[in-house]
Amino acid sequence: MRPIRLSRHAQRRCVLRGTDEMEVRQAVIRGLRRKAKKGCFEYRLNFQYNRVWRGRHYAIKQVAPIVVEKAHELLVVTVLTTFY
């Protein structure tokens, strides 16, 4: 497998959106892959959460990195999270 690298933008989004680099890497390795805009791919993976995020309790956190697949690496350009 190609190395996974997070852009600075993606690193900042992790902090703002309640995830971390380990979860992003797991999503890329184990998540469901589908096409996204502009030739990118989105990977989605659900994690058991059972915690409070911004004042509300959620059972599941979905992490969805957006990735540019280059010949020598997988570059995560941004990260989305959804809480359920």
- Tell me the per-residue pLDDT of 62-82, one tens digit each, with 9 for 90 and over: 999 999 999 999 999 999 999
CA–CA separation, 43 and 12 (whole Å): 18
Residue with tokens 């852009």: 7
Question: What pLDDT shows up at residue 28?
Answer: 98
Tokens, residue 28: 């890329």
Tell me the pLDDT tens digit for each residue of 1-25.
899 999 999 999 999 999 999 999 9
Q: According to DSSP H, which parts of the chain are helical? A: 8-16, 21-30
Among 16, 5, 27, 12, residue whose Cα is nearest residue 76: 5
pTM to 2 decimal places: 0.94
Residue 1 has what pLDDT?
83
